[in-house]
Structure 1
């Protein structure tokens, strides 16, 4: 029961944080959310299928999905929306490195808690360094995709405006 309560609470908090982060720019937040959901669906499924990690306690899709739907499709994507929302685009490399380290460390510490104190995650052929690296890589790919997508979108939008004039 403790594990299910933790999962439900984390899902509810993530949904709330998503809507807070998406308040001013819903389109951008939804694009980031969908990108991360696609990315984590593929990577999470590979991790679960190769038995690197097991998720003994789940709320959603218990029998049809080996990965953690709650984490891979709700909690982590919402966290990535927050990451992108406050990403220091115009700051220096040191600030960006600290930013990546802070966000990555926070979610890795939550995973450490989940592994040690709950039955929601069992690391089989996986360790926390791999988690930290994949989390940081996901942040990098997400920020890169967001920059590319909205640069493409803004240039397409401006070219449509010039055609109308």
Structure 2
């Protein structure tokens, strides 16, 4: 196994540890909703970016999976949804305006920084026509849509439990 696959494995293990440590037991159902809904967003977006040739993920944890889906399972379908779970569960609902914007920039910036470091130092990500600021913007938009859905779902869940 090469260095890139060890990095992917390390990121997956770190993500699992974050879930175990940061998701309260009573919020597991909400975490699943956030996790799965973000995948609804990342699936078509990731496929478009890869199929258009803007970005490439040459090394996968499972190389044969690259024959069917050239997006990054590890990043788009696991790491990013884990980041979205932490984002939504700990979102400062009492902050408005600039404080809320800083929260978005922090999380999107973390994910973007990680991708840029991996792009420049490994063969896990290759930008072709893609730029780091597209990652920043698309991550912020995805987190926004996902968090709006989570809040809508949470309100519906509370109404069902009250009945």
Q: TM-score range by the shorter chain?
A: over 0.9
Q: Cα offset for 1:20?
A: 2.2
Which residue does the alignment assign to 2:82?
78
- Structure 1 segments of 4 or more deviating over 4 A? none
Deviations 1:87-117 (A, max 9, x none): 0011121211111111111111111101100
Alignment partner of 2:38 out of 36, 39, 59: 36
Q: TM-score, normalised by structure 2?
A: 0.92
Contact 1:53-1:122 within 8 A present in 2 as well = yes
Map 1:49-64 to 2 at 5 A. 49-60=51-62, 61-64=65-68
Of stretches 128-137 and 42-51 in structure 1, the one that deviates more from structure 2 is 42-51
Contact 1:18-1:79 within 8 A present in 2 as well = no
Matches of 1:36 and 1:100 in 2, distance apart? 15
Q: TM-score, normalised by structure 1?
A: 0.91
> Structure 2 unaligned runs (5+)?
none
Alignment partner of 2:110 out of 102, 106, 126: 106
Deviations 1:33-79 (A, max 9, x none): 01111211121111111111111110132322110011111111011
Alignment RMSD: 1.2
Equivalences, count:
159
Secondary structure, aligned partner of 2:66: coil
Matches of 1:51 and 1:112 in 2, distance apart? 17
Q: State the structure with more CA Rg.
A: 1
Map 1:2-151 to 2 at 5 A. 2-24=3-25, 25-60=27-62, 61-151=65-155
> Structure 1 unaligned runs (5+)?
161-165
Deviations 1:98-153 (A, max 9, x none): 11111111111111101100000111121111110001001101110111111122
